[in-house]
Amino acid sequence: MRVMLVSAGLLLVLAPPLPAQASPPAPAAPFHWGPAPAVFPPGARMAVVSGDPSKEGPFTIRLSMPNGYRIPPHFHPTDEAVEVARGTLLFGMGDTLDVAKTQAMKAGAKGSVAANMHHFVIAKGLTVVIVTAMGPFAMTYVNKP
């Protein structure tokens, strides 16, 4: 009996440790979607991904726009990085919304908009964009709607 206990003890000491089974990572919390702030035309929905757009500092939001949604010519006081996550964003520059002067940004496309650059957008299909900028967020319309 004593020999068996010693043998079992040696096996435990000499055996390589078994790898611990890792728990699967917790799924990312879904975004909390709500109506976009009143500065946007009605119909868009927004989710804050990180930061706080109403305070100083970096933030990232997702903006969901239905087909045909338009944001008239406007500008921001800070640079913006934009990525199209879904759909097609028709992007144009200038003081007049002109569909003929837009460029299509399809899902996966990335771009940037310099501070104070006058621009406008139109959603083609359900379109979701990810916007990263410095807060506080502000948007000024060129021709007040």
Q: Which CATH number fits the domain that encloses residue 39?
A: 2.60.120.10
Residue 96 placed within a domain: yes
Residue 27 placed within a domain: no
Confidence (pLDDT) at 20: 44
Domain count, the chain: 1
Average pLDDT rounded to a whole number, residues 70-90: 98
Under 8 Å between Cβ of 89 and 129: yes
Q: Smallest Cα–Cα separation from 125: which of 65, 77, 45, 85?
A: 65
What dihedral do alpha carbons 129, 135, 140, 145 form, nearest 10°?
60
Confidence (pLDDT) at 144: 75
Structure tokens at 60: 């990232």
Confidence (pLDDT) at 145: 60
Per residue in 86-143, pLDDT (tens digit) is 999 999 999 999 999 999 999 999 999 999 999 999 999 999 999 999 999 999 999 8
Residue 7 placed within a domain: no
Per residue in 23-66, pLDDT (tens digit) is 444 455 678 999 999 999 999 999 999 999 999 999 999 999 99
Confidence (pLDDT) at 9: 44
Residue 12 placed within a domain: no
Confidence (pLDDT) at 33: 97
Please tell me the pTM assigned to this model.
0.78
Residue 25 placed within a domain: no
Residue 87 placed within a domain: yes
H helices then E strands: how many in the chain?
A: 1, 9
Q: Which residue has the higher pLDDT, 53 or 4?
A: 53
Q: Which residues contact 133 (CB under 8 A, 6 or more apart)?
A: 53, 58, 59, 76, 78, 79, 80, 81
Confidence (pLDDT) at 32: 93
